[in-house]
Each structure stands twice: as C-alpha cells, then as structure tokens.
Homo-oligomer: A and B are copies of this chain.
Amino acid sequence: MNPVEEYPFIVQPFEVDFRGKLTFPLLVNKLLNAAGHHADNRGFGMRDINKINRSWVLFKISLDLTRCPKEREEIKVETWIEGLLRTFTQRNFAISDMEGNALGYARTVWAMIDTETRRPVNLMEYGIDQFIHQKDCPVEKGGKIALIDDVEAQESFTIKYSDVDINQHLNSAKYVEHIFDAFTLDEIKRHNLIKRFEIEYVEECRYGEIVYIYKKEVEPHDFIIILKKENGSVACKSRILFSE
C-alpha cells in the first residue's frame, strides 16, 4: 500500500468565513480527517486501535500556508508518516490545488496511549514503520511557544455538545475554532493571510469544563494564544503569525 494517500475535497458554501475562504479551523479539521482515513486504511487508525484499548493523542501541529482555499475550490490533502520513535510519530501533510500548486504544508506529532492507564505505548508494535516515507515538507521548525503571564483572560467558554469527541473531550479541531474565535473580524481583515499556525496540546479538556482564553500580540502580526482551565493549568498553547 502506498505510504502517501491523497484526500480531495471541495470547499463547501457553509465552510467559508466572511472572506469567502475556508475557515482556518475547518482546514485543520480536513487535515485531521485525512490523517484518520490514512491510518484506518493501514490498520493503525482509531477504528482498529480502540478495540485494543489504544487511542491516538495529537501533541502538536505546525502549519505554513501560502494561500487559503476559497469557496468551491477543489483541494487535495496528502498525508504520510515521516518518522517513528518509540513513543512519538511524525505525520506530515501537503495541501495543494488541483493544478498541483502548493498551498501549504503541515507537520504533526502524535503518541498512542493506553486508554486505561493513559500512558504512551511503544509505537514499534503496530506495523506503522513499514509506511515511513520521505517527501518534501517545507515547514519551518517552530520553537517552544512561550507562555504569556502578563495578560488577563480575554474571555472564556464552556465545553458543549458540539465541542466534544467520542471520549467527551474537546476535539482537536474545536480547540482551533475557539482560538480563532478569539480574533475579531477586524483583526483577521487587517491581515491578508494566516502564514503560520502552531498549536501544542498540553492537557485534555472535558465536557462541561470552563476554558479561559489568553491572547497577546507578542510581535507585530504575531500572536500567542493560551487556553487555560479553571484551575490555571494550561490546556494548549498556540501561535498565529499573520502576513503583513
């Protein structure tokens, strides 16, 4: 089986934002869905590993974008496993239009956990290594995202029905939606493009929990957004770099 798989999709009318472009959270959603299919088709997806009390946990996404897909455009996402360590695996993505022009690339880091102990398991035992593949994926290596301790919470939200996955945790794509909802339309309008997006998932958030959003423009066009739980612990750290 080919280590790289391609997932085409058409940007739907109800998937675009006020600019007529695919909302960024839904772009991330498309990548994660492609990841799910790719893993399922190779026997190490949620479908199969859930049966043996295992689950994938997403740790990090770094995404560089040169153009955002627009309404009705046909786009394809390619995904493959670039590397495998004992407790981490790196999955990459290429996003392109139907003429083959690159729109962006992403790198993600995952672990597999035992759903009972919540501890990472040894990834060498699931036949993933046979699909490791090297392919161009020019995403700048991001540093650790700094905490911003000098700002007050901008707002908060409570985790609801449409936020949660089958484990009743805030789903990985919905973190991104809440992060982008911390920006006003004017803030997004001031910039032409989201050039870079990074997120580090730190702690799971459960149904009913209140999450606080901290946001700061640390450099011009460069924002850090931190989601914290009620007890002050960090749920995720994120960075959005807009073009000028």
Find out whether the CB atom of B173 lies under 8 angstroms from the CB atom of A161.
Answer: no
1/0 per residue, CB under 8 A from B, across A182-206: the answer is: 0111001000000000000000000
Determine whether A177 belongs to the interface, using a CB cutoff of 8 Å to chain B: yes
The stretch among A25-33, A99-107, A123-131, A220-228 that forms the contact with chain B is: A25-33
- On whether the beta carbons of A14 and B173 are closer than 8 Å, the reply is yes
A177 (CB) vs chain B CBs: closest residue: B162
Query: B207 to A18, Cβ gap below 8 A?
Result: yes
| A229 sits at the interface (CB 8 A) | no
Q: In whole angstroms, how far apart are the Cα atoms of A140 and B192 in the complex?
A: 47
Bound together, the chains give a CA A166 to CA B12 distance in angstroms of: 13
A181 x B161 contact (CB < 8 A): yes
Each complex incorporates copies of this chain amounting to 2
User: In this complex, what residue of B is CB-closest to A166?
Assistant: B20
When distances are taken between beta carbons in the complex, the residues of chain B under 8 Å from A165 are 14, 16, 18
> Shortest distance in angstroms between A212's beta carbon and chain B's nearest beta carbon?
15
Interface residue total, chain A, C-beta cutoff 8 A: 40
The reply to whether B180 and A162 contact each other, CB–CB distance below 8 Å, is yes
- Residue in B12, B18, B161, B173 whose CB lies within 8 Å of A17: B161
Q: Is the CB of B46 within 8 A of A164?
A: no
> Are A16 and B161 in contact, with the CB atoms below 8 A?
no
- Kindly report which residue of chain B lies nearest to residue A29, judged by CB atoms: B14
A23 at interface by CB-CB < 8 Å: yes
Asked whether A32 lies within 8 Å of B13 as measured between CB atoms, the reply is yes
| Complexed CA–CA distance, A29 and B33 (Å) | 17
Is A42 interfacial (CB 8 A cutoff)? no
Cβ B166 vs Cβ A185 within 8 A: no
Tell me which residues from 1 to 41 in chain A have a Cβ below 8 Å from any Cβ of chain B. Answer: 12-20, 23, 25, 29, 32-33, 36-37, 40
Whether B185 and A162, one on each chain, are in contact in the complex, defined by CB atoms closer than 8 angstroms, is no
CA distance A17 to B163 in the complex (A): 8
- What chain B residues lie within 8 Å of A164 (beta carbons)? 17-18, 185
- Point out the residues of chain B lying under 8 angstroms from A160, CB to CB: 181
- Minimum-distance CB pairs A-B, first 3: A13-B36, A160-B181, A12-B33
Jot down 12 A-B pairs with beta carbons below 8 A, ordered by A.
A12-B29, A13-B37, A14-B32, A14-B33, A14-B171, A14-B173, A18-B166, A18-B168, A23-B161, A47-B72, A161-B188, A162-B180
